[in-house]
């Protein structure tokens, strides 16, 4: 097995800590412990002994997670080190050489790279911008085959911020059921819907549904590295055995903090904060686009800390990202990382002042390099 370079993660890892303004994150501006916890909880944290903890996740944390997935119990839950590990364990446990996966694009392409490592064939299907970045069901029907082991979705989607409507959810589930394929859904952006209406989970729609999710994006606590798998008990038991060969367990402090973050009242406060940040920042980005007429278009994201902008000037997206980084110390993510040149992803979950500074630098660069463009006087 030979791993290919994971373009998105490598691009971010190389440069995100070397610039003054990083707008490549897709989550929400993170909490400090003082913002997240009460003084009593901080005292409790200080008294926790730094042992290993339960390797499949503490009972308290798995109980809290199970409340997000009606009909599940702690036996349906495996806690992992971030959703990236959940994706890895699922792929490793499920895929054999010769299998096929049907893979939503654009997407966080970790699973596609892993599938090729494990000898599986990756068959892509594409969200359609003209449909508001929605699924074309006819394409899934055309590409699904007897070899399709897994159908991979990201809902809400990274990088577009789109969500699958209920009617299409049911139809995708029916297609998976008819073929016998497992349905794996990355739901890590669930809870960050800008309209406040939480996206329904795919959990419970089919007996071969597996969910990957975690606290890194909607909850603003990526440093905890808490992710999870939700699936049938027999799959979770198998996945736990694979987890024993990877990180063994998430940190015991993260177990404690994760269970606190998912308490219903606190969860609501966390997600309300996320939505306030996202809505405020999307308005700032929208006004910025209006001040640069004819340069950008955007299907407004429905969820998640990112906006996927199409641009209308002649430059490769990686070249654009590189020049902004080198000339303005501003880092945005090129569409090339998602196989879509001509687009950029900008993080709208950032600190609001940080976002405004970055957009001002971007506008200065555009005005200097595209002087023929009829810019308005708005800022």
Token pair 């209406």: residue: 197
Question: Which CATH number does the domain housing residue 345 bear?
Answer: 3.90.1150.10
Last residue of a domain, one of 266, 287, 312: 266
Q: What's 214's domain CATH number?
A: 3.40.640.10
Q: Which of 62-66, 343-347, 374-378 has the lowest mean pLDDT?
A: 374-378
- Indicate if 295 and 259 belong to the same structural domain: no
Q: Are residues 189 and 300 in the same domain?
A: no
Residue 73 within any structural domain of the chain: yes
Do 249 and 351 belong to one domain? no
E strand map for the chain: 21-22, 77-81, 100-105, 121-126, 148-154, 182-186, 209-214, 226-230, 296-298, 306-311, 330-331, 333-334, 343-347
Is 373 within 8 Å of 295 (Cβ atoms)? yes
Q: How many domains does the chain have?
A: 2
Which residue from 102, 107, 80 is spatially nearest to 181, judged by alpha carbons?
102
Going through 215-317 in order, the beta strands assigned E by DSSP cover 226-230, 296-298, 306-311
The per-residue pLDDT of the chain, averaged, comes to 95
pLDDT tens readout for residues 176-226: 999 999 999 999 999 999 999 999 999 999 999 999 999 999 999 999 999
- 167 and 288 together in one domain: no
The stretch 287-306 carries a mean pLDDT of 97
* pLDDT tens-place string over residues 13-58: 888 889 999 999 999 999 999 999 999 999 999 999 999 989 999 9
Pick the closest to residue 104 from 145, 146, 160 (CA basis).
160
- Choose the weakest-confidence range: 102-106, 169-173, 368-372: 368-372
Confidence of residue 372 (pLDDT cuts 50, 70, 90): low
Other CB atoms within 10 A of residue 124 CB: 17
Cα(207)–Cα(210) distance, integer angstroms: 9
Residue 211 sits in the same domain as residue 303: no
| Domain end call among 266, 289, 305 | 266
pLDDT beyond 90 at 164: yes
Shared-domain flag, residues 150 and 202: yes
- Digit-coded pLDDT (tens) for 150-160: 999 999 999 99
Same domain, 116 and 186: yes
Which of 245, 266, 287 is a domain's end point?
A: 266
Q: Helix H segments across 95-196?
A: 110-117, 137-143, 166-179
- Contact in structure between 108 and 7 (CB atoms under 8 Å): no
Cβ(57)–Cβ(250) under 8 Å?
yes
pLDDT for 374: 55
Quick check: is 120 in a domain?
A: yes
Model pLDDT for residues 105-137, shown as the tens digit of each residue: 999 999 999 999 999 999 999 999 999 999 999
> Order of strands, edge to edge, in the sheet holding 226-230?
77-81, 226-230, 209-214, 182-186, 148-154, 100-105, 121-126
**Same structural domain, 180 and 294:** no
Instruction: Tell whether 86 and 227 lie within a shared domain.
Output: yes
- Judgement on whether residues 143 and 100 belong to the same structural domain of the protein: yes
**Which one has a higher pLDDT value, 9 or 199?**
199
Quote the pLDDT of residue 196. Answer: 95
Question: Is 2 inside a domain boundary?
Answer: no
Q: Are residues 361 and 244 in the same domain?
A: no
Separation of alpha carbons 50 and 57, rounded Å: 15
**Per-residue pLDDT tens over the stretch 299-339:** 999 999 999 999 999 999 999 999 999 999 999 999 999 99
Domain extent, residue 164, equals: 39-266
| Residue 14: predicted pLDDT | 87
Residues 336 and 222 both lie in one domain: no
What's the pLDDT at 10? 86
User: How many Cα atoms occupy the beta-carbon half-sphere of 120 within 13 Å?
Assistant: 25
Greatest CA separation found in the chain?
Answer: 64
238 within some domain: yes
């Amino acid at each position: 097995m030979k791993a290919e370079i994971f373009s998105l993660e490598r691009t971010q890892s190389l440069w995100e800590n070397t610039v003054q303004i990083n707008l490549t994150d897709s989550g929400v501006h993170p909490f400090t412990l003082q913002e997240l916890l009460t003084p009593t909880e901080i005292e409790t944290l200080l008294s926790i002994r730094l042992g290993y903890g339960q390797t499949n996740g503490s009972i308290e944390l798995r109980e809290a997670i199970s409340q997000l997935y009606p009909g599940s119990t702690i036996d349906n839950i495996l806690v992992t080190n971030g959703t990236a590990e959940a994706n890895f364990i699922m792929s490793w446990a499920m895929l054999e050489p010769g299998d096929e996966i049907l893979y939503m694009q654009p997407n966080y392409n970790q699973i596609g790279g892993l599938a090729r490592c494990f000898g599986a064939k990756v068959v892509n299907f594409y969200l359609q911008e003209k449909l508001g970045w929605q699924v074309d069901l006819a394409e899934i029907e055309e590409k699904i085959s007897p070899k399709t082991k897994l159908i991979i979705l990201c809902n809400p989607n990274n990088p577009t911020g789109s969500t699958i409507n209920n009617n299409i959810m049911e139809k995708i589930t029916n297609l998976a059921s008819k073929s016998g394929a497992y349905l794996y859904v990355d739901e890590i952006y669930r809870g960050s819907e800008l309209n406040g209406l939480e996206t329904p989970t795919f959990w419970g729609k089919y007996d071969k549904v597996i969910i990957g999710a975690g606290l890194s994006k909607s909850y603003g606590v990526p440093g905890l590295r808490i992710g999870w798998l939700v699936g049938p008990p027999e799959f979770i038991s198998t996945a736990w055995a694979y987890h024993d060969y990877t990180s063994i367990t998430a940190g015991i402090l993260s177990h404690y903090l994760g269970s606190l973050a998912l308490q219903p009242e606190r969860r609501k406060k966390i997600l309300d904060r996320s939505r306030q940040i996202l809505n405020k920042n999307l308005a700032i980005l929208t006004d910025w686009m209006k001040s640069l007429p004819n340069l950008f278009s955007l299907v407004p994201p429905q969820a998640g800390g990112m906006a996927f902008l199409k641009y209308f000037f002649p430059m490769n997206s990686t070249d654009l990202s590189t020049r902004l980084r080198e000339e303005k110390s501003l880092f945005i993510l090129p569409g090339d990382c998602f196989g879509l040149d001509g687009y950029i992803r900008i993080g709208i979950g950032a600190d609001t002042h940080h976002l405004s500074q970055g957009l001002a630098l971007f506008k200065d660069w555009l005005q200097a390099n595209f002087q023929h463009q009829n810019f308005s006087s708005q800022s």
